[in-house]
Structure 1
Amino acid sequence: MLEKIRPYINLVSYNTDYRRLWLSQVVSNFGDWFGVLAVYALITRYSDSEFLLGLIIVVKMMSLASFSPFAGYITDRFDRRRIMMACDLLRGVLVLGLLLVVSYDTLWLAYVLTAFQMMLSAIFEPAKTSSIPNVTTEQELVDANVLSAASWSVIFTIGMGIGGLATAWLGTDLVFIIDACTYVVSAWFIYRTVIPQEKMDEEERQRTSNPLVGIKEGFQYLFDNDQVLRPILAKGCYTMFLGALTYMLVLVSEEVLLMGSIGIGLLYSARGVGTGIGPVIGRCIFRHESDWVRAMGLCMIFGGAMYIMVGATESLAVMLLFVFIAHAASGANWVMSTVLLQRRTPDTFRGRVFSTEWLLFTLAQSISVMIASWILENNWLTIMQTIMLFAFLLAVTGVIWHLTVTQNEEAYQQKHQEGIAPAGIAEE
């Protein structure tokens, strides 16, 4: 067992810059997940509308999506370390603003503050993900992403679990104050981190001084490089249905299990543990990166099948098991697509590539949650029926992925093995 985790121990022990970047993620992620249930509780306290609860998720995702193209341009053009520090500090201020929501009439403020918080996250996340290859070696890159995903899931589990209890016992105000403090600590870790970054040359800086030109060049790069476009699509295709499924876990706890915040905490904890273990399992099963695009489609099929089982039961124990397994597949999909993008994309385009991925991811999740909430608001299907519908569509998407995207990737891999360098791939 020790031998299996030794690469991760060595990574954080000897790579100081990665360790500090990783610690900033751990602290800020804890605050995020510790506080998310408090926002849900705030909405349900002043409104009993399922639509308004779904709307906060849509606002979060649409804010990320709408700002993502500009975020990618910013993270490629300017110093990513300073950008991340500024984003952390500003997000802390915005979270404190949630203390001003004290009635139904001020509930709108939660949506506005959340929107600005997510715009800053749209800058921070691609900057962080783009920085990981710059503070790790080629050999450390996969370990770094697996560790980041596992840490996210552990913190997600702890944060959601403790956050559910804290929201119920301590109240939302104290939860928001703690959340704001975590952003300050995260900024301090980033301040102490050295993050190398390949800068645009002077000709490129002048050419892309207009943000719209820089954004256009980012999109053009993707259209010209299919080997980068394929892994970008993986998270968006997955979350087109998984977004609604995770949203409906909140309603399952409230209306099926009748367990409120504690039930949400347990279900989301199962989700978090699965997300963390999934990349480790996936790496053991799919040892060669050439198989990863095919594995993404298999993860979609498997994840959909597991959520069908969730929709077919009202037992908390059974739900926890299948939510765990479904999100293990999701976590494997996430890390595989992230590593491929980091390897296949030059540094000066990496911010725009990851921001485009966030754009697709957030748009897909927003659409997914909105459709599910609208179905439930109009009583067209029950919660459990809607879960089974979205789970089935996720599995079908995996089949389509296997028949289309996987075939194109296999053709690319065959050309690569024959020594034909596809467009956009620089020689090592």
Structure 2
Amino acid sequence: MTFTALLLDNPQFRRVWIAQVVSQLGDWFNAVAVYALLLDLTGSATLVAAMMVVQLLPLALVSPMAGVVVDRMSRRTLMIGADLARAVLFAGLVFVRSADQIWLAFVLVTLGVIATAFFEPARTAMLPDVVPREHLMTANALSAATWAVMLTIGASVGGAVTVLVGRDAAFVCNGLSFLASAAALRGLHVVETHHTQPRDAASTGVRDGLAYLRRHPATIALLSIKAVWAVAGGMMLLLTVFGQRVFATTPGETAARGIGVLFAARGVGAIGGALLARAVQGRDAARLKALVPWCYGIAALGYLTLANAPTLWAGALAVVWAHVFGTLLWVLSSVLLQLVVEARVRGRIFAVELALHTFVSAAAILLTGYGLDNLHIAPRTLATWLGAFFLAPAAAWAMAPRVGRGLRLRR
């Protein structure tokens, strides 16, 4: 099934997709405006770095408990509540007017990210109730493509809005985007299967979720896919350094151009990966699992090529290549978990996945920065190490056929 056909034929999924589009567009509006706010009021790059951490760390800390709530409540209701909370919180950034009010920006963003920790696992866990199993690959691929397009468009449009009409307009637009998302979800009609399965309150707790993982070790392996790929977070930091130092022939203008080209290449690769994911739809869980080592290995070759690329455009092509297969890996992880995890525990599993990915990504960024600034390791050397790292999970998955036999579709 094509993306267009899925959107036209499934009005319930269309509502979920519209909610994703408008909220992620608002997210990128907000990111540009918040960084500009911090720099304009304080001039501190350290505060910008701290805000980046704030945009990651609460997801990792709150997600496990958020998963429990996702499995106990109506996921649709929870998503609408999270949207309404984010609308108020992010629009509230208009009240930050001076350097001594910066603390308020950190509080509002932290609370908004906590709301996201409830929204995202609920959205992913609910998808099998909205889309037939045979269309899950298309739905997740479209979700990945949408993220990539919003990254490419949202940041540039957000920057333009911030420059032309001011930060406050960007903050208000972000708040309105979450109201639009809530409005789309309000008309969503879906039978949430985790409500139809018999359970008691204890069965929706954290310990029950951990017990489920102990009984299903193949699910633990699937949880590791995105967590291991999150090491590529270090490569995201390296892309800025490659644009600024490695591929810069003159100071200033070329540095900005190089960073923009490499991040745009990341978005293009993500779109390509989403299209490739749709091309492999219809395969069963074991056959999808067989693609995992290939994705790790081919993405590794892309990063190794970047490490040795002689020019900016050669490096950009390598980034596109790596992120085509990195995005396919991301989609495979989501689809496999949706296919094999029981509905009653799906929220907790996706919450754990989000927490693991966020922790590893933040750690990879910090370690890469430490290697660059404190150990003075050359960017090309770090890129080579990171690229070579992904050959290890490629080999591990290729040599673990029993994982595939542990995957069983859930009714």
TM bracket (short chain): 0.7 to 0.9
The question of whether the paired residues in 2 share the 8 Å contact of 1:157 and 1:270 is answered with no
Picking from 176, 195, 205, the partner of 2:200 is: 205
The question of whether the paired residues in 2 share the 8 Å contact of 1:309 and 1:322 is answered with yes
The question of whether the paired residues in 1 share the 8 Å contact of 2:300 and 2:391 is answered with no
Distance 1:250 1:40 in 2: 16
Matched, 1:140 2:130: no
Matched, 1:215 2:215: no
The question of whether the paired residues in 2 share the 8 Å contact of 1:85 and 1:187 is answered with yes
Q: Structure 1 pair 337/135, CA: closer, same or farther in 2 (3 Å)?
A: same
Deviations 1:194-252 (A, max 9, x none): 122124579733324xxxx7011112212221221112111110112x11222344455
Distance 1:55 1:251 in 2: 19
The question of whether the paired residues in 2 share the 8 Å contact of 1:50 and 1:377 is answered with no
Q: Greater CA deviation, 264-273 or 213-222?
A: 264-273
Picking from 176, 182, 188, the partner of 1:193 is: 188
Matched, 1:227 2:222: no
Q: Which residue of 1 aligns with 2:233?
A: 243
The question of whether the paired residues in 1 share the 8 Å contact of 2:138 and 2:278 is answered with no
Alignment coverage as a number of residue pairs: 405
Amino acid across the alignment from 1:231: L
Q: Cα distance, 1:282 vs. partner? A: 4.6
Picking from 317, 323, 327, the partner of 2:319 is: 323
Matched, 1:82 2:73: no
Q: Which residue of 2 aligns with 1:400?
A: 392
Q: Secondary structure at the match of 1:204?
A: coil
Amino acid across the alignment from 1:98: L
Q: Cα distance, 1:307 vs. partner? A: 3.3
Q: Which residue of 2 aligns with 1:341?
A: 337
Q: Which residue of 2 aligns with 1:419?
A: none
Q: Cα distance, 1:294 vs. partner? A: 4.4
Q: Cα distance, 1:290 vs. partner? A: 2.5
Picking from 37, 61, 72, the partner of 2:32 is: 37
Distance 1:254 1:111 in 2: 28
Matched, 1:307 2:303: yes
The question of whether the paired residues in 1 share the 8 Å contact of 2:121 and 2:350 is answered with yes
Q: Cα distance, 1:55 vs. partner? A: 2.6
Q: Structure 1 pair 161/220, CA: closer, same or farther in 2 (3 Å)?
A: same
Q: Cα distance, 1:167 vs. partner? A: 3.4
Q: Which residue of 2 aligns with 1:55?
A: 50
Q: Which residue of 2 aligns with 1:179?
A: 174
Q: Secondary structure at the match of 1:107?
A: helix
Amino acid across the alignment from 1:401: P
Distance 1:191 1:180 in 2: 17
Q: Cα distance, 1:291 vs. partner? A: 4.1
Picking from 398, 402, 408, the partner of 1:411 is: 402
Distance 1:307 1:320 in 2: 10
Q: Cα distance, 1:403 vs. partner? A: 3.2
Distance 2:213 2:337 in 1: 11
Q: Structure 1 pair 282/301, CA: closer, same or farther in 2 (3 Å)?
A: same
Q: Structure 1 pair 139/28, CA: closer, same or farther in 2 (3 Å)?
A: same
Q: Structure 1 pair 287/318, CA: closer, same or farther in 2 (3 Å)?
A: farther
Q: Give the TM-score of the pair, scaled to structure 1.
A: 0.85
Distance 1:64 1:94 in 2: 16
Q: Structure 1 pair 194/266, CA: closer, same or farther in 2 (3 Å)?
A: farther
Q: Which residue of 1 aligns with 2:11?
A: 16
Distance 1:177 1:265 in 2: 26
Matched, 1:332 2:328: yes
Q: Cα distance, 1:406 vs. partner? A: 3.6
Distance 1:357 1:37 in 2: 27
Q: Cα distance, 1:58 vs. partner? A: 1.9
Identity, % of aligned pairs? 30
Deviations 1:328-379 (A, max 9, x none): 121101101100000000111100010000010011011112223334454x
The CA RMSD measured in Å over matched residues stands at 2.8
Q: Which residue of 2 aligns with 1:275?
A: 270
Amino acid across the alignment from 1:258: G
Matched, 1:365 2:361: yes
Q: Greater CA deviation, 357-366 or 251-260?
A: 251-260
Q: Structure 1 pair 320/290, CA: closer, same or farther in 2 (3 Å)?
A: same
Distance 2:29 2:257 in 1: 13
Distance 2:409 2:291 in 1: 25
Q: Structure 1 pair 104/291, CA: closer, same or farther in 2 (3 Å)?
A: farther
Q: Which residue of 2 aligns with 1:130?
A: 125
Q: Greater CA deviation, 226-235 or 82-91?
A: 226-235
Q: How does 1:147-162 map to 2 (within 5 A)?
A: 147-162=142-157
Q: Secondary structure at the match of 1:65?
A: helix
Amino acid across the alignment from 1:164: G
Amino acid across the alignment from 1:364: V
Q: Structure 1 pair 427/354, CA: closer, same or farther in 2 (3 Å)?
A: closer
Q: Cα distance, 1:168 vs. partner? A: 3.8
The question of whether the paired residues in 2 share the 8 Å contact of 1:302 and 1:395 is answered with no
Distance 2:142 2:157 in 1: 22
Matched, 1:353 2:349: yes
Distance 1:29 1:344 in 2: 28
Q: Cα distance, 1:183 vs. partner? A: 0.5
Q: Secondary structure at the match of 1:404?
A: helix
Picking from 227, 233, 252, the partner of 1:258 is: 252
The question of whether the paired residues in 1 share the 8 Å contact of 2:304 and 2:387 is answered with no
Q: Secondary structure at the match of 1:154?
A: helix
